[in-house]
Amino acid sequence: MMNKPKIFSVRFLLVVLFLIVSLSLSCNRGRTSNPDALDADTSYAFGMWMANQMSSMGLMDISYDYDAFTRGFRDFNEAQETRITPDRAMELISAAVMRIQAQDEEREWLEGELNREQGEAFMAVNRERSGVITTASGLQYEIISQGAGRRPGPADTVRVHYEGTLIDGTVFDSSYRRGQPVEFPLNGVIAGWTEGLQLMNEGSTFRFVIPSELAYGTRGAGSIPPNSTLIFDVELIAVVD
């Protein structure tokens, strides 16, 4: 359902970054003084564009020595002697990218551990509530309204309305808000849905509390952080023939 930001390899990042810099600078190389230089706003716009391209590659929230950054930009752009070789420049960039990726992975792991602990605490309290049933897998559900139609099998396609929230109440997805139910095969969704929908009769509405291992796990998905426990209100409209 949700997509996750791409994680690019260091080699890919370096190649694309080199192409961006080369293409954006090549038109002015060798000109130490150019009366036809771009105006201040357009030059500023190029700086914004380069920063945006780097951000789109995963190089976000980097603090630079802007004096050195500008000098390196100018020396290369004007074909002056640079204080480091291109090979050394790539080595430094590669080391920085690897360090940034390692820091991002550590932050993601710490966030995931916190989410896991909070999710387990939430489910421990929730299982004590009247009407909440916990299955052998750890899925929790309660019946909001009980229908009388048929139940789907593990390979059936269903039509549902639903709303999904994090345990803090943040809505991350809702067919109700889009005003359109969705159809999908039960063998093509997260394990908590595959199991939970088979407990429902057509016309029922259930609330599921799904532990992260039955949802999107350590990677998360889209706006869903890693190791998130998820809450879904699901209305089973029909089993689709």
Pick the most confident of 35-39, 41-45, 55-59, 126-130: 126-130
Our answer to whether residue 46 is catalytic in this structure is no
Our answer to whether residue 231 is catalytic in this structure is no
DSSP letters for 58-89: T--S----HHHHHHHHHHHHTTPPPSS-HHHH
Our answer to whether residue 190 is catalytic in this structure is yes
Cα gap 215→45, rounded to integer Å: 42
Catalytic residue among 162, 206, 208, 231: 162
Q: What is the pLDDT of residue 3?
A: 37
Catalytic residue among 122, 141, 208, 216: 216
For the stretch 89-148, pLDDT in tens is 888 888 887 887 787 777 777 887 898 999 999 999 999 999 999 999 999 999 999 999
Our answer to whether residue 216 is catalytic in this structure is yes
- Kindly list the distances between the CA atom of residue 39 and the CA atoms of 34, 44, 230, in Å, as whole numbers in the listed order: 11, 9, 51
In words, the CATH class of domain 129-240 is alpha beta
Catalytic residue among 122, 141, 173, 206: 173
Our answer to whether residue 167 is catalytic in this structure is no
Give percent of the chain above pLDDT 90. 48
Cα gap 23→47, rounded to integer Å: 13
pLDDT band at 14 (very low <50, low <70, confident <90, very high): low
Average pLDDT over residues 71-84: 84
Instruction: Please report, for the chain, the start and end positions of each structural domain, with discontinuous segments joined by +.
Output: 10-83, 129-240
Catalytic residue among 8, 18, 73, 172: 172
Cα gap 209→123, rounded to integer Å: 8
- pTM here is 0.63
Please say whether the beta carbons of 124 and 211 come within 8 A. no
Q: What is the pLDDT of residue 12?
A: 54
Our answer to whether residue 141 is catalytic in this structure is no
For 218, counting Cβ atoms within 10 Å of its Cβ (0-12 exposed, 13-18 middle, 19+ buried), the class is middle
Cα gap 219→108, rounded to integer Å: 9
**Geometric angle at alpha carbon 51, from 49 and 57, rounded to 5°:** 105
